[in-house]
Amino acid sequence: MVKRNYVVFPIYSLKNIEYDFSYSLDNYFFEKYNLLPYKDSTTTVQINIIKNTHLFNVKIVIETVLKTTCDRCCNHLNIPIFEAFNHIIKQVSNPQHYHENESEPEITYLGFSETDLNFDDTIAEYLHIAIPHSTICNEFGFVCNEEMLHLIENMAPKPSTSHPFANKLNSIH
Ligand SMILES: [Zn+2]
């Protein structure tokens, strides 16, 4: 597989000023990170970086659409996702020490020998977090498909006949 990066900056190219970048993510990115509910969505990532020597204040804004189905009625749902988060990157002489002793997920420590700022893993992580645990129409401003709910209800086994005691009674008759 071809190794491909999306949101990467060579550190040496960044001066002590503010930068704004815009990217789009495609299906290769979603497959690479197993983010299949986002496939075929138009996904944009805005990155704002303020560099202050060895400190980078980063703001990442992701806009996309999550494609899923309702847990109750199986309707297809397109859920707009808008995630904005702040991230801090610090260049330090012993990044391993910081990663073992600091637990803030929003801070990344990089060694001075690192050549790139790579945001792909971070963006993928936030897209994973943005996937809701349950998806039911009304939680996202949609209405369940009544016809489908009736169908599902009729398909479900009736409690009175599925109970072992009820079955026994039926077999006596
Ligand atoms: Zn529904």
- Is residue 1 in some structural domain? no
- Is residue 104 in some structural domain? yes
pLDDT in tens, 76-127: 999 999 999 999 999 999 988 887 777 677 888 999 999 999 999 989 998 9
Å from CA of 97 to ligand 1 middle: 48
- Is residue 100 in some structural domain? yes
- Is residue 165 in some structural domain? no
Identify the CA nearest to 70 among candidates 155, 152, 139.
139
- Is residue 93 in some structural domain? yes
- Is residue 72 in some structural domain? yes
Number of domains in the chain: 1
Alpha-carbon distance of 76 to 137, in angstroms, equals 9
Å from CA of 136 to ligand 1 middle: 5
Residue 126 is which amino acid? Y
pLDDT in tens, 28-62: 999 999 999 999 999 999 999 999 999 999 999 99
Å from CA of 24 to ligand 1 middle: 30
Å from CA of 61 to ligand 1 middle: 29
Query: What's the domain range around 131?
Result: 8-144
Each as own residue / partner, the long-range contacts of residues 102-110 (CB below 8 Å, 24 or more positions apart, any chain) are none
Query: What is the pTM (predicted TM-score) of this model?
Result: 0.79
Å from CA of 80 to ligand 1 middle: 16
Å from CA of 7 to ligand 1 middle: 36
Å from CA of 141 to ligand 1 middle: 10
Q: Which residue has the tokens 């299906």?
A: 27
Phi-psi region of 34 (alpha: psi -120 to 50; beta: other; left: phi over 0): left
